[in-house]
Structure 1
């Protein structure tokens, strides 16, 4: 099945909220407490996405600002990637370092959607003038780590502890050069 990648629109927010929650619930099963995963609210996450996408609306792809793209299959959104400036300053990033996050609906895992989103994200960041990019992955998330390493990312040795919906969890930093 063909994957089409396009800019996310504010009317995608509800779908992104649902995908975000489903991907966490499946991908973090066994890594985060079951009750925390069960309590994730796709409506609340959709509202968060509505605000984010509204703020991004009109941001050109070739500028450093935050931008989200979605992947569609058969007219349905099945994943998304957010790109832009690094959020925070965990380990000495410069203005030429971007950050990204990528989630795919579990029903579309291992079907090439993540690779399409990653290709779009890295091309977009290069056009925007970034020279390298970083991302965070939940420690122990072997599926995601395998994907990132297969697409050219390397663990940079940085580990941080974050509070992720009310639970403390470790994340690993990954980087790759762009262009």
Structure 2
């Protein structure tokens, strides 16, 4: 992903939310989502992100049709004991986002992005990869389970437009890269 891709990535993300989370989040919140506002936030974040965060896009005929982001684990319980080591290199990564243009869901774009994100996570030295899925998003749950992820028992809820939205954490081990 380059800075020039930000507007297209924001469009994929916003339309992805509006499609995937219909009935799982307040409709007023989804309807109010703005590609321009998302792109503005993404531009601000883009230049400050850690070098261990990878944003990758999928393109068809030169147009961005999918986006994935992977980086170091943010949940403190994923790498027990790491906080006791001096400046540890993270051994766990997090799939922070994976969105495909709604019209292209089921065409292999998501699988290609997952493969690229997994390869990037391995290249960063991550041994485990985890992600959060909105409870009830059965399409995403099936997709991640086919990719080797399984729920690990952790659950969280966050506020979206005044409603509590529950999420489930999924995790999978990564085989080390041959080298």
Question: 1:80 deviation in Å?
Answer: 0.6
Question: 1:56 deviation in Å?
Answer: 4.3
Map Cα deviations across residues 81-100 of structure 1 (whole Å, 9 max, x no partner): 101112343x3435211001
Superposed, 1:1-179 pairs within 5 Å as 8-56=1-49, 59=51, 65-89=52-76, 91-93=77-79, 94=82, 95-100=90-95, 101-179=97-175
Question: 1:47 deviation in Å?
Answer: 1.1
Larger gyration radius, structure 1 or structure 2: 2
Instruction: Calculate the TM-score normalised by the size of structure 2.
Output: 0.87
Instruction: Calculate the TM-score normalised by the size of structure 1.
Output: 0.87
Give me the CA root mean square deviation.
1.5
Aligned 8 A contact 1:17 1:46 in 2: yes
Aligned 8 A contact 1:136 1:171 in 2: yes
Structure 1: segments with no counterpart, 5+ residues: 1-7, 60-64
Question: 1:167 deviation in Å?
Answer: 2.9
Q: How many residues align?
A: 165
Aligned 8 A contact 2:66 2:101 in 1: yes
Structure 2: segments with no counterpart, 5+ residues: 83-89
Aligned 8 A contact 1:70 1:80 in 2: yes
Q: Runs in 1 of length 4+ with deviation above 6 angstroms?
A: none
Question: 1:107 deviation in Å?
Answer: 1.2
